[in-house]
Amino acid sequence: MYTALRLQRRLKQRLKLAAGAVGAAAPDAPDALGTPGAPVASSLASAAGVTLTILDPDPYMTYQPFLPEAAAGSISPRHVVVPLRRVLPDCQVIVGEAHTIDHARRVAHISTLATAEADAARAARAAPGEQPEPRTLELPYTELVLAPGSVSRTLPVPGLAEHGIGFKTVEEAIGLRNHVLEQLDIASSTRDPALRDAALTFVFVGGGYAGVEALAELEDMARYACRYYHNISAHDLRFLLVEASDRILPEVGAEMGGYALRELRARNIDVRLETRLDSCENRVAVLSDGSRHPARTLVWTAGVKPHPLLARTGLPVTARGKLKCAATLRVEGTEHAWSAGDAAAVPDLTADTEPTDGAEPPLCAPNAQHAVRQARSLADNLAAVSEGREPTPYRHSYAGSVASLGLHKGVAHVYGRKLKGYPAWFMHRAYHLSRVPTFNRKARVLAEWVLSGLFKREIVSLGSLEHPRAEFESAAGTVRRPDEN
């Protein structure tokens, strides 16, 4: 999503964008989004300039590196997201999803909030046992840019779908914060030692950026919150990190990854390397080393996979499901189709190693550092192609990585220099503050960091936000309270 946002902002600078409805380009086209099954106007207009259309399930962009701090309460969740309609006023924003792509006809089959409402109404009117087929709209395009990002990669672990918590969206970050604080309330109010121990045990699966940063920030928050409970101490908490490989944070290198491991273990965090989660049925985490850990919190951050939409586009994909792209970011062997970010397998022209016979060439790492720069390069190439010029290959040398290990703690390996502790944590915040879009968000995040240094942490759980109508339904008599017979 960050790729799509940067791309459109770049195109807005380079091309003349047409304001108004998507259908402005074709006089005989239906109104914006038309009727089910009918096409809308092309996203590239002729006489009026360019109409740039973005299709996304959410009307905002989430800056994912700030999710751990949002979960810990250091940043308000509202400041982790950037509203697309505000930052892209001349672009057409459609809240919806693409189900399939017919690139031969240059048409995307999409659904929107309106089609979902219409489908629900038809299902309510249908005869018993009848299930109406969901309807989609056709969205034609001239140039297609696919940047759907990635989704959580789950495994067929028994109990994972029922009890696991993801960490890819701001909603999941808010829910996890509320859940952790709720477990402290449960432990504080029970006399059952088994329930208390399970409530105070927190299992994180995955030792990459998301897992380590989420674990470190939430561990900081939970230990701080314990001082306000009369019968819970920080020593009662148990945090467990499960990683299938032999190290954590491979992006920062072996030395800094080893330092991060020692730092976490010094905080009494149980880190299990070369270990897998075999089951979590009945809220019991069973590991491949034979140990069993009753836990009411299991956070799954064990990698990501390409968005499922890519398999339904008919475009060439790699064995891992990413779009095969040339160095110019154009989909390999395909005209009028482009990609960048996590969805794209882009050759790394700065790699020192040459591919062996039959092996895939070195690819750009799927991280924000490449995604942001690919977006700029892609926008320049689209502008060049529209003007009859040749696109330029994408080239960027990897600068390094930074990771937070909680308040005032971190690791960094940038341009060959290795930092740890407070300097690395400061670099982590400075880098991401410079990268979060819009001055508005930069100012708000900086203000919250300053205020959090002057005042105490917030430890309020707002778990009721997940069920906002529960109290009203109870008052109306449609839902029974748990204490009612």
Which ranges in 49-169 belong to alpha helices (H)? 67-72, 84-87, 113-125, 160-163
Describe the strand order of the beta sheet including 92-102 as a list of residue ranges: 53-56, 92-102, 107-112, 137-140
Residues forming a β-bridge with 60 = 83
User: Whose CA is closest to 18, among 96, 89, 112?
Assistant: 89
pLDDT digits (tens, 9 = 90+) for 243-298: 999 999 988 888 999 999 999 999 999 999 999 999 999 999 999 999 999 999 99
Q: Which residue has the higher pLDDT, 45 or 210?
A: 210
With bands split at pLDDT 50, 70 and 90, how would you rate the model's confidence at 456? confident
Structure confidence at residue 121 (pLDDT): 86
Average pLDDT (82-86) is: 90
Give percent of the chain with pLDDT exceeding 90.
55
Tokens of 362: 């070195």
**Helix (H/G/I), strand (E/B), else coil: 81:** strand
Structure confidence at residue 158 (pLDDT): 95
**Helix (H/G/I), strand (E/B), else coil: 138:** strand
Structure confidence at residue 89 (pLDDT): 82
Structure confidence at residue 174 (pLDDT): 92
pTM: 0.85
- Give the rounded distance of the alpha carbon of 474 from its chain centre: 35
The answer to which of 23-32, 119-128, 389-398, 473-482 has the lowest mean pLDDT is: 23-32
pLDDT digits (tens, 9 = 90+) for 137-146: 999 999 999 9
pLDDT digits (tens, 9 = 90+) for 3-29: 555 666 666 666 665 543 333 333 333
Structure confidence at residue 125 (pLDDT): 86
Average pLDDT (85-110) is: 91
Structure confidence at residue 478 (pLDDT): 64
Average pLDDT (369-389) is: 87
Is pLDDT of 176 > 70?
Answer: yes
Place of tokens 């690139």: 103
Is pLDDT of 185 > 70?
Answer: yes
Is pLDDT of 196 > 90?
Answer: yes
Mean pLDDT score of the chain, rounded to an integer?
85
Structure confidence at residue 20 (pLDDT): 36
Is pLDDT of 43 > 60?
Answer: no
**Helix (H/G/I), strand (E/B), else coil: 278:** strand
Structure confidence at residue 36 (pLDDT): 40
Structure confidence at residue 484 (pLDDT): 47
The answer to which of 95-99, 160-164, 454-458 has the lowest mean pLDDT is: 454-458
How many Cα atoms are found within 13 Å in the side-chain-facing hemisphere of 171? 5
Structure confidence at residue 304 (pLDDT): 86
157: Cβ–Cβ under 8 A, 6 or more apart, which residues?
164, 277, 278, 279, 280
- What is the C-alpha separation between 414 and 256, in angstroms, rounded? 11
With bands split at pLDDT 50, 70 and 90, how would you rate the model's confidence at 416? confident
Which ranges in 354-420 belong to alpha helices (H)? 368-386
Structure confidence at residue 396 (pLDDT): 87
Structure confidence at residue 397 (pLDDT): 81
113-138 in b/e burial notation, b at 16+ Cβ within 10 A? eebeebbeeeeeeeeeeeeeeeebbb
Angle between helices 2-14 and 368-386 (to 10 degrees): 30
